[in-house]
Amino acid sequence: MSKFILACRGEGHWGSREEDNSKIDLIFSFEHPWASGERMMVLCQVKSGNSYGSLTENGFELKSKAKAAAIRSSHQICVVWIDRNERKAFWAYIHPDSVARAQKYGAYHEVTPATKFDLARCISMARSGSKGAKGLHIRRRDTPIAIRRKTVKGRYQDIRTVRSPVLGEIELGRVGWRHMFRKGRRKEGKIRSLEIIPYLHRLLPRWPTTHAITSSSEFKVNGYTYQVREHLLKFDELTVSSKNEEVREDLCAHVRVREEICYPNDWESVVMLSQQVKRRIVLKSAYYK
């Protein structure tokens, strides 16, 4: 578990039978990666052996026995499964309303310095309250697309960054603009991106209705490991209207972002680790349908 605490740059202590009837093995906290001055509290159960988990080709599988043990608690639980043969540790964040059936997780669930950002994302998604785009009203305009594109581009450059409660700072840069208005994209898709871009500063600070990692990859260069992931955020109940069409209140905003995390290959032995872990999130596309 020292590896887990080191990866998150946290502080913690072992649980006791008197406190939780042995349901919690480790209690630790760490500084929130994008909410300044806030610390995250994580409750962990540590498991090992084939009855609780197993390695897969692209990650690991957490067995139903381990999930059932975590769900017995009324709290969100981070289950850490240890493969003793490979000397690897994997994590899974379990909510009280999770289903107690075996589940496979991707390679990014191996404990690394990137885990800190993943835990912050999972804990943020556990927040209760309103989610989605309800109350956000987008007006479709009949301005020629060439003129509209020039106006929206200036607005896009002015926004620059937006704070998401589940991902942190998202950069609005050339990568996203070029992707949304690439030559091969359909005209209707470009128009819908132009219409939603001016509202990104109001949309992205909301909690998404659903959030999924659609792809992930990892590579090593010059002594550093790079983890690259693509996220899809969906915001339901978006309202769109125009002069010639009736109001639609059942549309969904789709926002795709690219997350890049970099840390030293030998992070378990490197000094001043927190200063060598880098993270960047950039907007890839935004549209509605």
pLDDT digits (tens, 9 = 90+) for 10-42: 888 877 655 555 578 888 899 999 988 889 999
- Rounded to two decimals, the pTM is 0.89
pLDDT of 2: 80
Average pLDDT, the chain: 90
DSSP letter string over 73-108? SSS-EEEEEEETTTTEEEEEEE-TT---S-EEEEGG
pLDDT of 98: 86
B/e letters for 259-271, b = 16+ CB within 10 Å, e = fewer, are bebbbeeebeeee
| Triad 208, 33, 27: Cα angle to 5° | 100
Q: Given a cut of 90, is residue 191 above it in pLDDT?
A: yes
Q: HSE, CB side, 13 Å, CA atoms: give it for residue 249.
A: 2
What proportion of the chain, given as a percentage, has pLDDT over 70? 96
Q: Given a cut of 70, is residue 272 above it in pLDDT?
A: yes
Find, among 118, 115, 120, 69, the residue nearest to 96 by Cα. 69
pLDDT, one tens digit per residue, over 212-270 is 999 999 999 999 999 999 999 999 999 998 777 778 888 999 999 999 999 999 998 88
Residue 128 banded pLDDT, cuts 50, 70, 90: low
Q: Given a cut of 80, is residue 126 above it in pLDDT?
A: no
pLDDT, one tens digit per residue, over 81-124 is 999 888 899 999 998 888 899 999 999 999 999 999 999 999 88
Q: Given a cut of 70, is residue 146 above it in pLDDT?
A: yes
